[in-house]
Structure 1
Amino acid sequence: MNRTYTSVVKLVTFFGVVLLFTNSVDALAFSNINSSSKKIEYIETFSLQQQTKQVQNDSLSKVRDSLRNKLKNSVAVALPSNDVPVLFGKQKNAKRISSSAIVNGEELTSFPTPQVGLMLYGKLPGLYIVQNNFQAGADEPNLSLRGRSPLVVIDGVPRSYLSINPEQIESITVIKDALGTALYGMKAADGVLLITTKRGAIIPKQIRVTSQYGLQQQINTPKFLDAFNYATLFNEAMVNDGRQPIYTASDLDKYKNGTNPFTHPNVNWADEILKNSAAVSRQNINARGGNKTTRYFVDLDYLNQNGFLITDKTINTYETNNSFKRFSFRSNIDVDLTESTLLSLNLFGRIRNGNQPGSTVASIYNAFLTTPNNAYPKLNENGSLGGNTEFQNNLYGMAIKSGYRPSVNRNLGADISLTQKLDKFITGLYASGAVSFNSYYSESINRSKTFAVYTPVVNATTGVTTYNTIGGDGTQANTSTVADQNRQIFSRFDLGYHKTIDKNTFQAQLLYVRDSYVLGGALSQVNQSISGRFNYDYDNKYLLELSSSYMGYDRYKKGDQWGIFPSVGLGWNIANEGFFSNLKKTVNSLKIRASYGLTATNAAAGYFQYLQNFENGDTFYSRNPLTSSNTKDESTLANPNITWEKAKKFNIGFDATLLNDKLWFTADYYKNNFYDLLQTRRTNASAVIGAVLPSENIGKSQYAGVELGAGYQNQINNFKYFIAANGSWSASKVVFNDEPFKNNAYEYRTGLPIGQTFGYIADGFYNNTTEINNGPKVDGYTPVPGDLRYKDLNNDGIINNNDVTAIGSTKPMFYYGLTAGFNYKGFDFSFTLNGVANRNVYYNFTNFAATGSTGGYGQALESSLLRWTPTTSAQAKYPRLSVGSNPNNNQTSSFWIKDGSYLRLRNVEVGYSLPSNMVKFIGFSNVRLFANGLNLLTATKLKDVDPEVLLGSVPNQRIFNFGVNLQF
């Protein structure tokens, strides 16, 4: 506690020195003003006196409006802001043509989760998120934008969002069409997730301190059979397989009554080695302010997240639990060197320290699936670790006696830019240049060790128990491996021009970008581009945008490294037309927009795939025909014509605001046709020529969908409220993938959704031998009652690969979100719902599956009690039991396709801001207490597992979090 207090004092002292140095407005005088309206007047007066020009297009009105919302404790604003971030700049929302959506960074702070990606559930139309592993420090979700993985760009530079916390974020924008992403050319086909960080402004000095503490709970953990039911059902499975049962009636009685827990154990392993809850906390302090020459934003953040494994300090002097600690820092400074010269410097850093048991978290959670409750006791009667030849890795030992594996990774970056206005030469002309450096280092340390387990052996004559030793207590390892050592240098130079002549507004930008990055010991990769963007609007009614990139990539052969990727957009602000004036009071704005363009991606390109003389990988090998070493494995042919994958994208949409901007709507329809996708031909040519065919640009696919968004906000006296919702339909289709000839139309994947699961169509169970004899024969297997029955699609009387077809839903997936809240006299409340429909998951857990080289028998779920038996055939939910994987019942089939749709109460937050007259005497401008929760309720048809995290991974988590926010 003392150490924490000292650290906070040091941080506050540091920020105090920074604020005094900037010599901004008088914070003491500001804090002594009682009413919010007078504070706003004070800021306006100060700003009008000090501000002589716009600072980075951040107008005084925007700053004033932003402060007005914060000082009045406004709820989250659902209406899109006036200025929308785009690649390498900003645009007025009224003049935006490209398809994009934005969320304010302040809205994300109500999510008590370590990862920024997990804060975006249900927030942005077109963005689909799924998380399938919640291991501390390894819980980055999968992001999909219109069916593809978007490029993450922070302040104009491609980099990982793991290096950022929500307090640093001004906004997050998804840019979805070809027009908006064109400046990234060959890297833009999958869309962009654009993160804009906070910057200083001409405002009074502001310091914000947030301290929050939470408890994590694992939810939807699998339910396994107890020892008695496991043994009973295992005997049944053995008999079903034509084998003798291994558990006697006496064994079953001992399992049921628990009379001898050492020879007949019943261990609930989750209860023994997992804690009910784990702590998570985050501390943040940031400062923001500035005057007419210098603006700054500085942020420090510390995250501490514990895992759920038990520990024993009497055994170990070191930590064995899974844990994750993150330290991050960001400083954004803008300095006006002259009235026309702006220097900006961004510095950021992150240190991530992780830890897990020597056996690894993944191995432990996998062992839950392979260790039945009766496998061995946690501890033998003499206190030694239980085990046997079939189960040689005691789960308790894996948690506390296997050593530990710390890890560390460091991320350091710096951006420096200089913008020079050239109005002395041409009014509206400017030049800007920037260089960014980013380094990433990751190291894994192995301090694991082995341990022995012991099997009791009772002497039949003397009754004395001795113990056989299996394995041994090994010495602790001490090795390290550099997992990643990446470096990036990103540079850009651009010329811009803005001019208004009468009702005509012209804006142009010419950009050069070079992005060089090195991944580990691989050769560097270099992208270079010359890009341009031109905007024109007439009387704020008719909008035109042209954008193009001429980009090159050094992984293709010379002469074929460069390509042109143009796009065009048109917009019409109908509400600004004269004939619309009578409706203007009701419909404040109405805009139709459309775009079309060519984009590309080079993500699938490897080194020297166009040369037969080099290894197709990251290691460089010269070929020497006289030796057999360091030569290319010529079983894979080269492709001299390899090039980038391309996409033609079309988007049409409209935006509208009504009722004095209280109500807003947005809608988009898109169709993205991808072609020249790298695929390997599925013909038999490789068998003829004796070599593996290379990847070729032959594939075609299509993504199409509809995205809707709407919101409403209003105020009734002191009661302010808002609601915002969005929904997205996303469909995909394989257009061409060089399938070999099929005998039946239903066997083709072409024309079906990308990633569509194929298998047999289940048609109930075989209930008797008559059904088996009268039905089609199963190729290579003789069914028995209780087995799954499959449809003979080609009616040839045989169930085989010719009966495999698409299984599960082929409907477009629909994902949606809703955020709402209110504010009343200092109290605020908000929540976020998100859900998915038409989502398939494949869920097939094999009961009693053999594990390891010793053939130990695996775990079984409680759902096994609903298996088929002659007496339960009418209500059975699962086929008859077998030991291990049944060659018929465990085939990929529609029986195991489950409806993965869900609706989740993703987040709830309630807060209270103390009255200003209660806090002003201690120098604070605001004190807010808050509580929030994550994953509080879930509605789903899945009964055994979470709809996102299936078996074998760290389960999903519910978090209850409490905190305080201080502003002064």
Structure 2
Amino acid sequence: MVKKYAIPLCFGLTLCLPGIRVSAKPMEDTVIRRASVSQRLPAAASRILPLKDTVPVLFGAQSGTTMLQSYGIVRYDDIRSMPVTQLENSLYGKLAGLYLLQTSIEPGQDAATMSIRGAGPLVVIDGVPRSITSIDPEQIASVSLIKDALGTAMYGMRGENGVILITTKHGYNGKKRISFTAQSAIQQQLKRPKFLKAFDYASLYNEALQNDGKQPVYSPADLEAWRTGSDPFGHPDVDWYNTVLKDQAGMQRYNLNIAGGGRSARYFVDLDYLNQQGYFITDSKNTYPTNNFYKRYVFRTNIDVDLTKTTLVNLNVFGRIRNGNEPGAETSGIYSSLLTTPNNAYPMLNSDGSLGGNAQYTNNIYGQAVRSGYRPNYNRNLSIDLSVKQKLDAVLPGLFVKGLASFNGYYNENINRSKSFAVYNGTSKIGTDGTQSNTAANSAENRQAYTEFQVGYDSAFGAHQVSIVGLYFRDTYTDGKQLPLINSSFSARAAYNYAQKYLLEFTMAYSRNNMYYQKQWGYFPAVGIGWNIARENWFREALPSIGTLKLRGSYGLTGNSSNAGYYTYLQFYTQNTSYALGNPATSYAGISESALANPYLTWEKAKKLNVGLDVALLQDKLQFTAEYFDVRRTDLIMRRGTNASTIIGNTIPLENIGASTYSGMEFSADYHSRAGQLGYYVNANLSFIKSRVDDMDEVSRRYSWNKRTGLPVGQNFGLVADGFYNTKDELDNHPRLDGYTPVPGDLKYKDLNNDGVINVFDERAIGTTKPQVYYGVNMGLNWKGFDLSMVWQGVMNRYIFLTGNNTYEFQNSGKGQAMEHHLGRWTPATAATATYPRLTVGTNVNNHRASTFWLKDGKYLRLKNLELGYTLPQDWVRFTRLGSIRAFANAYNLLTFTPLDRVDPESYQGAYPNQRIYNFGVNIQL
């Protein structure tokens, strides 16, 4: 039932300013209660633009009606359909301005990296900065993206990169709700490398040797044996990928949460279990696990207690245990071996059952997977947050104070129970069958203590609304035995609006970081103004269908102290035992300088401009937001490019010498409606971001096209490939690579300065200098208990280098793999159609250097998630005394459209591949 109640302008956790009346569901219902799909309008949960909701901001909450910050939000229902283990991965395509890249898919280490407008954000969970890995998606009430200086300046020298603000679920005053969800998934790896069978490998290897002017090593008889498979032990042909890796792996997840309460106390309790398996085969003879896996146990309880009518106490307790495992040879080691071991290297097992191998290949991959022991990993988190809020209406209506104390502890232990194994080449034994290790090491142990004190005031005087909050916080982080990193700040915010029509807000911080020497404190102000034109009487009369037309802008200074380093103003020394003196030389112990210290190092700074337009019409069924931003970053910490360390015999110090600019536009749109029993929605976001290096103390460049300054940050550089050398005339009449004599089949390059030599002076920006574009489309519908939703996500104007063992032939000192794309190599017969240079053994300084040939268009469009669900009619479940039963199936990374033909656009370096997930589940509510 929709109720009319006050949506106030709030600061702190619960103090709200009365007087603004809109129609909406009670806030506690949106956090915990989930009506059946046929009853709820999907767009209400999927709305990206919080134009009428009360939403969390740093150190409080605000109404979307009067908000001036650059802001985006998703709630639990937006992310619950994603069958992922890490919260970051559920945000793909959801928020304008948020760019995600998932390069690692290994269980327990598969979180995507995040950037907001080109920088890695600070993560704040329930008001405390901490690791995002300490949060479970089932506990999420909302995830907010705060992007401009007005929204983040209160964090001072930690606010430059934007903030991911996460709020967890709380209880409510109402009947107890119990929700249980069980899910089971099938994982499948995408874009596995396609290695050559032994016959093709050996044939190409002989060809590569001949190209290098050497004699072939495989005879015609060898090739025939591999072609026919007549000698599996003497001439093996082992498909290692399909030998040690399974086609699919399982994943299970179970979640139970309970919420409810009364007027005096509310509670939310969540228990979650995750079991994600890896792809390695196992051997039933082992009495211990050798597959890689990740198991997680999570507990959270959030309790709110009204000690009096004016005193609120909140206690949040979070605990997590993560158990991981991998073979003794380690996951990364096995995947590396897969890239560097050809099919013909050795048999998996010899005729007597022993592990195959030889002096050149001493690590049998099957042995690495099942006979190298195992390596368990154990880590735990504990977080406790306690806050007390006291209303002081008796002193001054709208006045309050609040205190918050938080403790976070993390411990990680790696256990080594690996063992060595011998391999056999005929009767020759190579290596030893070692005993199993049994050691443990504390690889990480850190503690965080956070305290905060707030004083706030909210009041309304007719059409005038005023909100003020001032606070002090201290965040102490201790990593192992190191001295603690301390961030502290005096911060404030003052907001005023007249009739929700004319808007003004000011925020500031005077913050400190103890890792600086000359100057530890800095001042960071920001201001925002806005005008909701739709509130003007003349506009309402002219265009009554437009409920919101808000122009807003903000400008401010923020800082970044994350690159400060550990007491970089102190000169450190390290012990060195390699000083050789005398004749004959004898080694003596001594000390040496670490990198040179810099007592003048300070924080990085950013001046941020943000201009936005918010529109809502058709009774808020259609909403639209457009923003322009310009971020000028200065005092970036880097090392000088003009001073060589070899001149002074040491690493030169870090200095504040860099500058860059990031600018762009972001668009978000949402439409939701209902036609009878059919509810539907679609929302989309589109982001353009362009960067520029303004200053980097660049070395002197002879030609303008060599210069990095003025180009995008991270711009790719290399030679411009111009096909292959096909004839002697081309060799004679084309510029030569400095220090290399090309032959037919080699890559040739453009001589940009026309000096007849190909060298560093011919390197230029390659790929694109256009703004990067990333976007997402979310859509769904529901009808008579059925619900269907999908998420599309994509990136444009993105280029990636394909290099290394996953691209080049016969790497690893000539012992490496060859792949199907090497069949398109240049030969005299295929000169007109070749897609790859002539083959060589090992690294080729001409063909393998950075150039446009290896730089590929990395754009893509993914069907990131597709879900179909069905909620049983109430008449069917009433006799069970259950509230609702919903069955669902979803698929993750179902489709990908990209010009890349053999690799995934995110996980493309040949390590743990990306994966597709098919997930099935049921949710039962009481």
Shorter-chain TM-score: which interval?
A: over 0.9
Picking from 662, 677, 688, the partner of 2:636 is 677
Please tell me whether the aligned partners of residues 531 and 550 of structure 1 are also in contact (alpha carbons under 8 angstroms).
yes
Picking from 51, 58, 61, the partner of 1:87 is 58
Please tell me whether the aligned partners of residues 491 and 508 of structure 2 are also in contact (alpha carbons under 8 angstroms).
yes
User: In structure 1, the residue corresponding to 2:26 is in which secondary structure?
Assistant: helix
- For residues 424-452 of structure 1, give each alpha carbon's deviation from its aligned partner in whole angstroms, at most 9, with x where no partner exists: 00010000000000000011000000000
Picking from 374, 378, 388, the partner of 2:344 is 374
**Residue in 2 that maps onto 1:179:** 150
2:444 equivalent to 1:484: yes
Evaluate the alpha carbon distance shift between residue 401 and residue 856 of structure 1 in structure 2; reply closer, same or farther with a 3 A threshold: farther
**Residue in 2 that maps onto 1:75:** 42
Q: Which amino acid aligns with 2:102?
A: Q
> 687-696 vs 507-516, which deviates more?
687-696
Give the distance between the partners of 1:318 and 1:685, measured in 2 at CA: 52
Q: Which amino acid aligns with 2:320?
A: R
Please tell me whether the aligned partners of residues 666 and 686 of structure 2 are also in contact (alpha carbons under 8 angstroms).
yes
2:476 equivalent to 1:516: yes
Structure 1: stretches of 5+ with no match in the other structure: 1-39, 48-53, 457-466, 618-627
Counterparts of residues 282-431 of structure 1 (less than 5 Å): 282-314=253-285, 316-431=286-401
Give the distance between the partners of 1:912 and 1:575, measured in 2 at CA: 40
Evaluate the alpha carbon distance shift between residue 44 and residue 583 of structure 1 in structure 2; reply closer, same or farther with a 3 A threshold: closer
**Residue in 2 that maps onto 1:495:** 455
Counterparts of residues 898-913 of structure 1 (less than 5 Å): 898-913=856-871
2:920 equivalent to 1:950: no
> 81-90 vs 563-572, which deviates more?
81-90
Please tell me whether the aligned partners of residues 747 and 805 of structure 1 are also in contact (alpha carbons under 8 angstroms).
yes
Give the distance between the partners of 2:646 and 2:305, measured in 1 at CA: 66
User: In structure 1, the residue corresponding to 2:443 is in which secondary structure?
Assistant: strand
Structure 2: stretches of 5+ with no match in the other structure: 7-12, 19-23, 576-587
TM-score with structure 1 setting the length: 0.90
Please tell me whether the aligned partners of residues 867 and 879 of structure 1 are also in contact (alpha carbons under 8 angstroms).
yes
User: In structure 2, the residue corresponding to 1:486 is in which secondary structure?
Assistant: strand
2:904 equivalent to 1:937: no
Picking from 876, 882, 888, the partner of 2:840 is 882
Pairwise CA distance, 1:162 = 1.2
Please tell me whether the aligned partners of residues 809 and 839 of structure 2 are also in contact (alpha carbons under 8 angstroms).
no
Evaluate the alpha carbon distance shift between residue 586 and residue 944 of structure 1 in structure 2; reply closer, same or farther with a 3 A threshold: same
Please tell me whether the aligned partners of residues 600 and 645 of structure 1 are also in contact (alpha carbons under 8 angstroms).
yes
Give the distance between the partners of 2:809 and 2:573, measured in 1 at CA: 40
Please tell me whether the aligned partners of residues 838 and 901 of structure 1 are also in contact (alpha carbons under 8 angstroms).
yes
Please tell me whether the aligned partners of residues 787 and 880 of structure 1 are also in contact (alpha carbons under 8 angstroms).
yes
User: In structure 1, the residue corresponding to 2:627 is in which secondary structure?
Assistant: strand
Give the distance between the partners of 2:438 and 2:914, measured in 1 at CA: 32
2:137 equivalent to 1:166: yes
> 839-848 vs 261-270, which deviates more?
839-848
Pairwise CA distance, 1:270 = 1.1
Counterparts of residues 842-857 of structure 1 (less than 5 Å): 842-845=801-804, 855=813, 857=815
Please tell me whether the aligned partners of residues 608 and 616 of structure 1 are also in contact (alpha carbons under 8 angstroms).
no
Instruction: Give the total of aligned pairs.
Output: 895
2:189 equivalent to 1:229: no
Evaluate the alpha carbon distance shift between residue 230 and residue 58 of structure 1 in structure 2; reply closer, same or farther with a 3 A threshold: farther
Counterparts of residues 125-140 of structure 1 (less than 5 Å): 125-140=96-111
Give the distance between the partners of 1:74 and 1:692, measured in 2 at CA: 60
2:63 equivalent to 1:96: no
- For residues 332-370 of structure 1, give each alpha carbon's deviation from its aligned partner in whole angstroms, at most 9, with x where no partner exists: 000000000000000001000000000000011111110
**Residue in 1 that maps onto 2:420:** 450
Please tell me whether the aligned partners of residues 327 and 351 of structure 1 are also in contact (alpha carbons under 8 angstroms).
yes
Q: Which amino acid aligns with 1:362?
A: S
Q: Which amino acid aligns with 1:62?
A: P
Pairwise CA distance, 1:521 = 1.8
**Residue in 2 that maps onto 1:217:** 188
Q: Which amino acid aligns with 1:491?
A: T
Please tell me whether the aligned partners of residues 355 and 423 of structure 2 are also in contact (alpha carbons under 8 angstroms).
yes
2:241 equivalent to 1:270: yes
Pairwise CA distance, 1:582 = 2.6
Give the distance between the partners of 1:629 and 1:375, measured in 2 at CA: 44
Please tell me whether the aligned partners of residues 609 and 616 of structure 1 are also in contact (alpha carbons under 8 angstroms).
no
Give the distance between the partners of 2:42 and 2:272, measured in 1 at CA: 24
Pairwise CA distance, 1:247 = 1.1
Pairwise CA distance, 1:809 = 1.3
Give the distance between the partners of 1:597 and 1:848, measured in 2 at CA: 48
> 800-809 vs 841-850, which deviates more?
841-850
Pairwise CA distance, 1:609 = 2.0
**Residue in 2 that maps onto 1:28:** none
User: In structure 2, the residue corresponding to 1:204 is in which secondary structure?
Assistant: strand
Aligned-pair identity in percent equals: 51
Q: Which amino acid aligns with 2:666?
A: E
- For residues 693-716 of structure 1, give each alpha carbon's deviation from its aligned partner in whole angstroms, at most 9, with x where no partner exists: 211111001111111010100000
Please tell me whether the aligned partners of residues 106 and 167 of structure 1 are also in contact (alpha carbons under 8 angstroms).
no
User: In structure 2, the residue corresponding to 1:224 is in which secondary structure?
Assistant: coil
- For residues 374-424 of structure 1, give each alpha carbon's deviation from its aligned partner in whole angstroms, at most 9, with x where no partner exists: 111111111111101111000000000000000001000000000000000
TM-score with structure 2 setting the length: 0.94
**Residue in 2 that maps onto 1:601:** 560
User: In structure 2, the residue corresponding to 1:945 is in which secondary structure?
Assistant: coil
- For residues 526-570 of structure 1, give each alpha carbon's deviation from its aligned partner in whole angstroms, at most 9, with x where no partner exists: 11100000000011101000000000111112x511000000001
Please tell me whether the aligned partners of residues 505 and 529 of structure 2 are also in contact (alpha carbons under 8 angstroms).
yes
**Residue in 1 that maps onto 2:599:** 640
Give the distance between the partners of 1:218 and 1:85, measured in 2 at CA: 38
Please tell me whether the aligned partners of residues 848 and 857 of structure 1 are also in contact (alpha carbons under 8 angstroms).
no
User: In structure 2, the residue corresponding to 1:230 is in which secondary structure?
Assistant: helix
Evaluate the alpha carbon distance shift between residue 159 and residue 55 of structure 1 in structure 2; reply closer, same or farther with a 3 A threshold: closer
Give the distance between the partners of 2:222 and 2:33, measured in 1 at CA: 74
Please tell me whether the aligned partners of residues 587 and 657 of structure 1 are also in contact (alpha carbons under 8 angstroms).
yes
Counterparts of residues 647-666 of structure 1 (less than 5 Å): 647-666=606-625
Evaluate the alpha carbon distance shift between residue 234 and residue 515 of structure 1 in structure 2; reply closer, same or farther with a 3 A threshold: same
Please tell me whether the aligned partners of residues 234 and 848 of structure 1 are also in contact (alpha carbons under 8 angstroms).
no
Pairwise CA distance, 1:58 = 11
**Residue in 1 that maps onto 2:9:** none
Q: Which amino acid aligns with 2:41?
A: S
Picking from 493, 496, 512, the partner of 1:552 is 512
Give the distance between the partners of 1:455 and 1:683, measured in 2 at CA: 54
User: In structure 1, the residue corresponding to 2:837 is in which secondary structure?
Assistant: coil
Give the distance between the partners of 2:248 and 2:594, measured in 1 at CA: 53
The CA RMSD measured in Å over matched residues stands at: 2.0
Please tell me whether the aligned partners of residues 574 and 593 of structure 2 are also in contact (alpha carbons under 8 angstroms).
no
Evaluate the alpha carbon distance shift between residue 373 and residue 207 of structure 1 in structure 2; reply closer, same or farther with a 3 A threshold: same
Counterparts of residues 608-619 of structure 1 (less than 5 Å): 608-612=567-571, 614-615=572-573
Pairwise CA distance, 1:203 = 2.2
Pairwise CA distance, 1:73 = 3.7
Please tell me whether the aligned partners of residues 208 and 286 of structure 1 are also in contact (alpha carbons under 8 angstroms).
yes
